[in-house]
Amino acid sequence: MSANRPRRSCLYMPGANAKALEKAKTLAADVLLFDLEDSVAPEAKADARAQIGAALAGGGYGKREIIVRINAFATPWGRDDMRAAAEGKPDGVLAPKVESAAEIEALDAAMTECGFAKGAQLWVMIETPRAILNIAEIAAAARNTRLSGFVMGTNDLAKDTRAKITPERTAFHTALSLAVTAARAEGIVAIDGVYNDIPNKEGFEAECRQGLEFGFDGKTLIHPTQIETCNIVFAPSEEEVTRARAVIAAFALPENAGKGVIKVDGKMTELLHLEEAKRVVAVAEAISG
């Protein structure tokens, strides 16, 4: 998994909708989440599995990252979803309702058993109170498994905690911050939850900016009209890229060789800033390329 790959916009695509899967080839989303779970009725699960299989076999999605969201193994569909996904060779799978490191290990073993390549990713939904309480343990499982991403399920979290989703998302600040912190501790991707009020463009942009402030890499989306705003907000700004290039250039000067702290444009700059500068430039180049 490339840590510098842009994952600004992660769009859920209902697996039972063949037209939507086809349209996804034209959309500017960084990540396509082919969904077999919440957006698919029980009687349509098998058909959705076949539709996604056909879409993966047909290809044509370019550089977009494709992750298949499977049903939980506790359901009648989860293991069949995993086997079907493996045949299509997506970039990875997204598993719902994960609450422990043991579940991560079981999912990883199932991916191996089903024939996923070693580099295939395992993303998991963080959407229950117990997942938040166990977040450090869950993230630490990334050291020995394919675990490479957290996706916040704020709607489910709201349901289970009985908290209210307000424009400020005050009730979820702790959960969001803990998830990002755990993800960063283990070097995995962190994706913010969905925004439900599709027509409210101002509210959506504000929540994207809030997610960026929390440290998320991007946001999950439920409608194509949300892609453009999300891509703009989560992309490094021109000012950030210019500053990052200046930091990289300054540390590369012979007179700064071996120094841990230098001044760049009058600002105190440490080696930790160099690391972040390289990441910003890499993401910006990946977006433009």
Q: For 94-147, write each residue's pLDDT tens digit.
A: 999 999 999 999 999 999 999 999 999 999 999 999 999 999 999 999 999 999
| Section 188-216 average pLDDT | 98
Q: Please, are residues 188 and 156 in contact by the beta-carbon 8 Å criterion?
A: no
Give the three-state DSSP class for 37: coil
Set out the domains of the chain in order of their start, with CATH numbers: 9-234 (3.20.20.60), 238-288 (no CATH)
**Predicted local confidence at residue 1, as pLDDT:** 56
The helices-and-strands tally (H runs, E runs) of the chain is 12, 10
**Predicted local confidence at residue 266, as pLDDT:** 87
d(CA 219, CA 197): 14
**Predicted local confidence at residue 53, as pLDDT:** 95
| Section 180-207 average pLDDT | 97
Name beta bridge partners: 152.
Answer: 126
> E strands within the chain?
9-14, 31-35, 65-69, 92-95, 121-126, 147-152, 189-192, 218-221, 261-264, 267-270
Q: Whole-model pTM? A: 0.94
**Predicted local confidence at residue 177, as pLDDT:** 98
| Section 218-236 average pLDDT | 97
| Section 44-67 average pLDDT | 96
Please report which confidence band the pLDDT of residue 2 belongs to, taking 50, 70 and 90 as the band edges: low
**Predicted local confidence at residue 271, as pLDDT:** 87
Q: Which of 187, 174, 173 is nearest to 143 (CA)?
A: 187
**Predicted local confidence at residue 51, as pLDDT:** 95
| Section 34-41 average pLDDT | 94
Q: Please, are residues 219 and 230 in contact by the beta-carbon 8 Å criterion?
A: yes
Judging by beta carbons within 10 Å of its beta carbon (0-12, 13-18, 19+), is residue 286 exposed, middle or buried? Answer: middle
| Section 201-222 average pLDDT | 98
Per the model's pLDDT, the better-predicted residue between 3 and 135 turns out to be 135
Average pLDDT of the residues of the chain = 95
**Predicted local confidence at residue 289, as pLDDT:** 75
